[in-house]
Amino acid sequence: MSAVNGIRSTPSLRTDRELQREEATIARKYLGRVPWEMVVWGLGNFVVWLSLWPLVFSGMLPLWAGFLLSTLCCILAYLPSHEAQHSIIAAEGTKLRWLNELVGHISTIPLVFPYRVAWITHKQHHAYANDEERDPDITSRAETWWQSIWSSIKGRQPGNQEGYAKAMRETDDPNRDRAILEAFALRTMHFTVLLICAWTGHALEGLFLWLLPRHLGSIYNVLFLSWAPHHPANETGRYRDTRAWKSPIGTLLTMGMEYHIIHHLYPKIPLIDTAKAFYEFEPILTERGIRNDRPNKTGA
C-alpha cells in the first residue's frame, strides 16, 4: 500500500464495473429510509431558536446565554435543510414531500439562507465540485483555515458578485426567479425584525440574538461543511473532489463532515449514516484512489 498526497491505493484487481457493482450494493443498504432524526433536528432547532426571543425579552434568560444558544442554533441550522435539498426526507411526488419542503424552508431561517437558493447553488456544487468557474462553493478554497474564514467574511459583503451571487445570476434553473423572490422576502423579514428591535430600544437583543449568531453560524458552516471536506480543493472528479479526513475537534463538532466524501458519491445517503457507510465503502474507495487524509489504522 502506498500513501502519497492523500492517495492510499492498493493495486486494483477488479474491473471498474465490478467495483461499481459492489459500490451500488453497499449504497442500496443506506438508501430509502426517512431520516426522522434530521426532521427532529431541523424543526426542533428552529423551535429552540425561536423560543430564545421570548425567554430573553422576558428576562428569563440573560442576553449572553441567548447569544451563545442562538449561535449554536445557527450552526445547527443548515444540515437538515441540506437533507431536504437532496430530497432525502421525501422524494417529489411522495406522501411526505410536504415535510421535506417544510424542513428545507424552516430550518435555515436562523441563517437567513433561503432554501431554494441553497438548493439551486448546491446542485451546481455537486455537478462541478472544485471547478474554478462553476462551483459556487469554490470561494471557500484557501490554504489555511483562518484564510478560509477571512474569505468567508469577504464573501458575505454586500458588493460580492462571486460564489452564490454569480451562480444565481448564471443559472438557467426554472426555479431561479422564485428563489430570488423568496430570498428577498427572507432578507426583508430579517431586516424588519432587526429594525423593530432597534427602534423599540432592543438593538442589542437584535444584534446578539440574530445578526451576530447568523454570521458566526455561516462562517462555522463554511469552514467545516465546505472548506475542510474539500481542502485543498484543487482536483475534480468523482473520487478526488472531496476527501476523507480526521478533524482535530472531532466528528460531532464537525457534524459528520469527516465522511463528506460518501455524501458526494451517494448524495441520498442520510448524513447520520455516512460514517457507518464510509467504513463499509473504505476498501473499495481505497482501490478507487480517493483522497484519504485520515490516519492510517496501521499508523503509517
Residues that bind another protein (CB under 8 A): 153-154, 157-160, 177, 180-181, 184, 187, 191, 194-195, 198-199, 201, 203-204, 206-207, 211
The two beta strands, 243-245 and 291-293, are parallel
Q: Which is nearer to another protein, 91 or 195 (CB)?
A: 195
Q: Which contacts (CB < 8 Å, 24+ apart) does range 273-277 have?
A: 273/30, 273/35, 275/251, 276/30, 277/26, 277/27, 277/29, 277/30
> Measured from the CB of residue 162, what is the shortest distance to another protein in angstroms?
12
**Pairing between β-strand 7-9 and β-strand 2-4 as defined by DSSP bridges:** antiparallel
Three cell numbers written together for 164? 452564490
Give 194 or 261: the residue with its C-beta nearer to another protein.
194
What's the closest the beta carbon of residue 157 comes to another protein, in angstroms?
Answer: 4
Shortest separation between residue 159's beta carbon and another protein, angstroms: 2
Q: Measured from the CB atom, is 57 or 239 closer to another protein?
A: 57
Nearer to another protein, 147 or 160 (CB): 160
User: Of 199 and 252, which has the nearer Cβ to another protein?
Assistant: 199
Can you tell me the distance from the alpha carbon of 161 to that of 196, in angstroms, rounded to the nearest whole number? 29
Q: Specify whether the CB–CB gap between 123 and 116 falls below 8 A.
A: no
**At its nearest, how many Å lie between another protein and the CB of residue 208?**
11
| Nearest distance, CB of residue 184 and another protein, angstroms | 5
State the DSSP H helix or E strand holding residue 4, giving kind and residue range, or none if neither. strand 2-4
Which amino acid is located at 263 in the chain? Answer: H
Look up cell 425584525; give the residue: 193
Q: Which is nearer to another protein, 222 or 244 (CB)?
A: 222
* Cα–Cα distance, 12 to 231 (Å, whole number): 26
Min dist CB 202 to another protein, Å, is 8
